[in-house]
A = this chain, B = another copy of it.
Amino acid sequence: MIDVAIVGATGYAGQELIRILLRHPKVKIKALVSQSSANKPVEEVFPYFGKMIDMSFTNMDVLNVADAADVVFLSLPHKAAMNVAGRLLENKLRVIDLSADFRLKDKSLYPTWYGVSHIEEDLLETAVYGLPEFYRARIKKANLVANPGCYPTSALLGTLPALAEGIVDPSDIVIDAKSGASGAGRVPSDALHFPECNESIKAYKVGSHQHTPEIEQELSAVAKQDVNMVFTPHLIPMNRGILSTIYLKLNKKMTTDEAVGFYRGYYRRECFVRVLKKGEFPQTKNVTGLNYCDIGVHVDEDSGRMIVISAIDNLVKGAAGQAIQNMNIMFGFKETMGLI
């Protein structure tokens, strides 16, 4: 059994962490930290949890969190996590950060993409990018895991195998991603106001989404060279789910059969990736509430393109579920524990 704290527990990712951890047989939730909701019972903030958890949010400081827990999930807004991670680590906690604050290795990217100078350069170096399918061994030993963003998880799981094995051109990658509205968080805004968002679809932050450098960093790391990538996010009128349609240029001829076979082989030992059969393609409803990434593959032989389509639940494999998968790895639990 391990003791767990969640800091910043009142957003959608925080809610999802609570939901999943309540069923985890090796976890005891010891603290739910929230400034805005301090001293409120959980069920007052989230009536969903009535009769399921008998705790209140707390305004606990770092030292008290450190006393209470073995591991802490930081589910704070971007830019807030870097202020507390260091002190938590000094106090011997292992930290799984769901924000972007430790995902980018190049600190110079933070001012550009997040409008903030990074204050914890050393931690940027030691933080491990928490995509288990590619960094499992390092996650196991990590004290600070930077849990991937939702779009990056979906984009990377679809793209990395082909890049890793050199079967596609790293300079010709198009990622067209579609996300449900919960990805934008719990703060009301014009764009997410129901009558504005419902019955409509749009692209947004075209050419400027903050997940772009994260995707590029990880694609380049695996390709062992700089990649050239276009990423376009879209807002879909549904609560949960990301579908990424990824267009890759094959380096040599390949049939759909071969491409599907390659992906199935590549991921055959992965517990949370499901590569569909030839002719089948994922839909987000099949991963709703689940930690799976579903992948479908098709080759367009005329144009020499491979189309990879991946689906995740943005709040599970794209956030809380993957964070718990990382926790399982860090603490030597079965990787699927609490997640199936």
Which residues of A pack against B, CB within 8 Å? Answer: 12, 22-23, 47-48, 50-52, 171, 174, 176, 178, 180-182, 186-190, 192-204, 206-207, 228-230, 232, 234, 236-241, 243, 245, 247, 271, 274, 276, 280-290, 292, 294, 296, 298, 300, 302-303, 305, 307, 309, 311, 340
**Chain B residues near A292 (CB-CB < 8 A):** 50-51
- Docked complex Cα distance between A286 and B49 (Å): 8
**Chain B residues near A305 (CB-CB < 8 A):** 174, 230
A199 contacts B271, CB within 8 Å? no
- Docked complex Cα distance between A247 and B192 (Å): 27
B281 contacts A194, CB within 8 Å? no
Q: Given A194-B239, A198-B181, A202-B284, A228–B303 Cβ distance below 8 Å?
A: yes
- Docked complex Cα distance between A291 and B97 (Å): 32
User: What's the minimum C-beta distance from A158 to chain B, rounded to whole angstroms?
Assistant: 12
Other A-B pairs, 13, CB within 8 Å; known A199-B285, A236-B236: A22-B340, A47-B276, A176-B176, A188-B188, A192-B194, A194-B237, A198-B198, A202-B282, A203-B281, A206-B281, A206-B309, A207-B298, A230-B303
- Chain B's closest residue to A247 (CB) is B174
- Docked complex Cα distance between A66 and B10 (Å): 48
Q: Given A51-B271, A206-B309, A271-B51, A238–B198 Cβ distance below 8 Å?
A: yes
**Chain B residues near A229 (CB-CB < 8 A):** 303
User: Of residues A178, A187, A283, A303, which shows the largest number of chain B Cβ atoms within 10 Å of its Cβ?
Assistant: A283
User: What's the minimum C-beta distance from A256 to chain B, rounded to whole angstroms?
Assistant: 8
B200 contacts A197, CB within 8 Å? no
- Among B193, B199, B234, B296, point to the contact of A206 (Cβ < 8 A): B296
| This chain: copies in complex | 4
A200 contacts B47, CB within 8 Å? no
- Among B178, B194, B206, B286, point to the contact of A47 (Cβ < 8 A): B286
- Docked complex Cα distance between A292 and B193 (Å): 24
- Chain B's closest residue to A204 (CB) is B281
**Chain B residues near A23 (CB-CB < 8 A):** 23
- Docked complex Cα distance between A303 and B186 (Å): 34
**Chain B residues near A289 (CB-CB < 8 A):** 289
A309 contacts B178, CB within 8 Å? no
Q: Given A200-B238, A206-B309, A285–B228 Cβ distance below 8 Å?
A: no
- Chain B's closest residue to A276 (CB) is B47
Q: Given A236-B237, A305-B230, A196–B285 Cβ distance below 8 Å?
A: yes
6 smallest A-B Cβ distances: which pairs? A202-B283, A200-B285, A188-B188, A181-B194, A176-B176, A182-B195
**Chain B residues near A238 (CB-CB < 8 A):** 198-201, 237
- Docked complex Cα distance between A287 and B50 (Å): 10
- Docked complex Cα distance between A181 and B295 (Å): 23
Q: List 17 A-B contacts (CB under 8 A).
A: A48-B286, A50-B274, A174-B174, A182-B195, A186-B193, A192-B194, A196-B285, A198-B238, A199-B288, A200-B285, A200-B288, A201-B243, A202-B281, A202-B311, A230-B305, A234-B245, A236-B237
